[in-house]
Amino acid sequence: MRLSLSRVLFLLLAAALVPACAGSHGGFIAPSLPPLARFAYVANSDGTLSGYDVDTQSGQLSTAGYSVVAPPTPHRIALAPGGQLAWALRTGASPVISSYLVDPVTGALTSSSVAAPLATIGSASALGIDPGLNFAYVVDGSAAGFVQAYTLSGTGVLTPFGLHASTGLGTTSPVAIAVHPSGSFIYVANQAAGNVAGFLGAALAPLALSPYIAGSVPVDLRIDPQGLYVFVLCQGPQPAVWVYSINSSTGDLSNVGNSPFVLSSIAAPTYLSIDPLSRFVWAGNASGRVSALSLNVATGTLSAGPTISFALPVAGTPLAMTVDPSGQLAFVSMAGGSVQSFAVSADGTLTGPPPPAPATLALASVRTRGSTPSAVALVQSTAPVLRTPTYSYVASGSGISGFGITTGTGVLVPLGGSPFAAGTAYGSVTVDPYGRFVYATTTSGASTPLGQFGISGGTLVPIASPPSIASATQILADPSGRYVFVASSGTVTSYPADPVTGALGVGSGVGVPGVQFLAIDPLGSFVLEGGTGGLAAQQFDAATGALGTSTPVVGTAVSAAAVSPTGQGAYYGSGTAINFATVTSPATVTASGGTTTIPPGNGNVASLALDPTGNLLYAAATGGQIFIYSINPTAPATLTLLGAATTSPGAAIALGTDPSGMFLYASSAGNGSLWSYVPGGFGGSQLLTVPGTPIVVGTSPSAAAVAPVLQ
């Protein structure tokens, strides 16, 4: 990845600032070059944690599974500085905390404790983690608030340590906590008392001069990356940011010159964010206004730039803001259930894409599972996530054909032993999101075992004791790899998948009249079920996989469906028409018009697929054509035809994409062949055939399923 201009400028800035900072404050010095963001996590109000890959070039968050934390309720999330551990705190009454190990390659979360009660805490309001990973601190936000320390095990499990420490006399109602980068000092904002309480780390002995006077109604508190200053956001009646210098020896706070810094252009601020490069301090409110204040690292003073206050480019209610380690991207969590990505300008303003894109557009956007997402927590790394397409599998009357995907060119090379399970007619195939397991359904009308296989160098190795099902038409793995769903004979069945062996457990089914195919929400909140009975959305329990009540989207016959990678919309085919449905959190799918008709004389819509960016929609017709549409970013129901490609004239086509977006696969029912394409041309207007394709794979081939290797 190229080194961006802002990262080069940071090196120059750091070289100039670090000596001055060390001399005036005694020396906690941040790393000279911040890494990139690799993974992002959001705690959802439905009791889950969502994971995302971070594209540091576009700002797009790509969904990467979820984990269950507790019953639906607001949560706070925290990460170890190295990104190896994560915690989710259920706030409010009866608090619990869950801890996780973070896979550095995939970002997957493995529980080390789930919903562990915090016996001494009556109403949790904040969580702080010692950067040395020796202690954690939980704030009780009751009127007589206090802080409780916990030791941390190597897997992140909390054990109470010592007695809790009061945050002050009388009514304090603490709301926020910050741990000094050295781990030596702890600071807590007392909302009712209008002050800051300071403690020594671990033992929580009060600092000599604590508490420290602050403004009225403090709502947030942060420490800059170098550990030089404490920033406290106060709502007012005169909104302001109070800035304190930290004594590196004692931890005591001293108000810096001219503090507090009044926020004259923003009312009732609710959140604070600090630039990882120590250039800016941002304060925002629920109306979508943000103040960007320039930070003088040598003195701690804040000054307003030419645009001290600005409106976010998008409508809605911001809840929190996180800036990525490079200082180039800002992620804003929005009420209603989304995260909006923005570019950080040189003056601290947050912007969307450059013209001619509309000024009311974020750089990128993604839905969250709950309607009140937490602040985004980022895992840092020196390298972005790469999901390299490595193997491709197609089910057909000949078994399961497997191919290695040549890096760069996409040329398909038959794997040794392919077709696998030869002699068994398979009709559908899916791969778990981490490229470890393959699942397939047979075309038999009788009760027949599902195909379940482990992937070993591309070879499919059967997993013993698969469950059986009759008349299956499609199989899909959910985005977390926890469950596999099968459509068959008017029923949709959910199977739990063992995370280690890949073996499927006992399934649980619900009736869905006329169901023929499935499409999965990339966030894992629901399954779309389509067929002769129309299209319906069915939520499933994240903890058990159990399917809930099916909610109709449209009552007429539907032939294909695909959910946007951002989780904010879905497309479905009916006859010659492509229709759009909006998706809102937690899992409401609503048909919203915007019909696009494929060019005449090409039959009906047979299959739909979206590229991973959500910018292009591919529609395959029963006449053998694949049509390429661009998606209007501000009006996603509006599609513009860019181009077309012909596979096998007069034959239905099943489409499959790979997680990287490098290739598109088309399986032709007419001659049993598999085509591989590279999107090309201006704006993706062409599909360029990969050399060596089409390849004959067998009768009635399914859509291709691609196994990625994560790096």
Give residue-wise pLDDT tens across range 601-630: 999 999 999 999 899 999 999 999 999 999
Instruction: Tell me the pLDDT band of 8, cut-offs 50, 70 and 90.
Output: very low
pLDDT tens track for 85-102: 999 999 999 999 999 999
Contacts of 161 (CB under 8 A, 6+ apart): 135, 149, 150, 151, 202
First to last CA, the chain: 14
The pLDDT, as a whole number, for residue 10 is 32
Looking at per-residue confidence, does 9 or 676 come out higher?
676
The DSSP 8-state label assigned to residue 181 in this structure reads T
The pLDDT, as a whole number, for residue 3 is 32
Beta bridge partners of 339: 333, 366
Burial 460-476 (b: 16+ CB within 10 A, else e): beebeebbebebbbbbb
pLDDT tens track for 134-187: 999 999 999 999 999 999 999 999 999 999 999 999 999 999 999 999 999 999
Burial 38-64 (b: 16+ CB within 10 A, else e): bbbbbbbbbbbbbbbbbbbeebbbbbb
Instruction: Tell me the pLDDT band of 305, cut-offs 50, 70 and 90.
Output: low
Q: H or E segment at 256?
A: none
Q: H or E segment at 657?
A: strand 653-657
What is the four-CA torsion angle of 707, 410, 683, 316, rounded to 10 degrees? 20
Instruction: Tell me the pLDDT band of 524, cut-offs 50, 70 and 90.
Output: very high
User: Six-digit token pair at 514?
Assistant: 């006329």
The DSSP 8-state label assigned to residue 683 in this structure reads G
Cis peptide before 260 (omega within 30 of 0): yes
Position 346 pLDDT exceeds 90:
yes
Among 7-11, 87-91, 639-643, the minimum mean pLDDT is found in 7-11
The pLDDT, as a whole number, for residue 58 is 86
Report angle CA 335, 340, 344 to the nearest 5 degrees: 130
d(CA 472, CA 468): 10
Domains 5-381 and 387-710 share a fold: yes
pLDDT, mean of residues 560-573: 96
Position 206 pLDDT exceeds 70:
yes
The pLDDT, as a whole number, for residue 70 is 65
Contact indicator for 200, 209 with CB cutoff of 8 Å: no
Domain ranges in the chain are 5-381, 387-710
pLDDT tens track for 400-458: 999 999 999 999 999 999 999 999 999 999 999 999 999 999 999 999 999 999 999 99
Position 69 pLDDT exceeds 80:
no
Position 14 pLDDT exceeds 80:
no
Give me the CATH code for the 387-710 domain, please: 2.130.10.10
558: three-class secondary structure by DSSP: coil
Instruction: Tell me the pLDDT band of 20, cut-offs 50, 70 and 90.
Output: very low
Beta bridge partners of 321: 332
Q: H or E segment at 302?
A: strand 302-311
The DSSP string of 500-528 is TT--B---EEEE-TTEEEEEE-TTSSEEE
d(CA 367, CA 563): 12
pLDDT, mean of residues 44-61: 90
What is the four-CA torsion angle of 297, 303, 307, 311, rounded to 10 degrees? 80
Strands (E), 118-194: 123-129, 135-140, 146-152, 158-166, 174-179, 185-190
Q: Please give the mean pLDDT across all residues of the chain.
A: 91
What count of other Cβ atoms lies within 10 Å of the Cβ of residue 273? 24
CA distances in angstroms from 256 to 28, 216, 231, 247, 534, listed in the order given: 18, 18, 10, 12, 65
Homologous superfamily (CATH) for 5-381: YVTN repeat-like/Quinoprotein amine dehydrogenase (2.130.10.10)
pLDDT, mean of residues 301-309: 74
d(CA 235, CA 241): 9
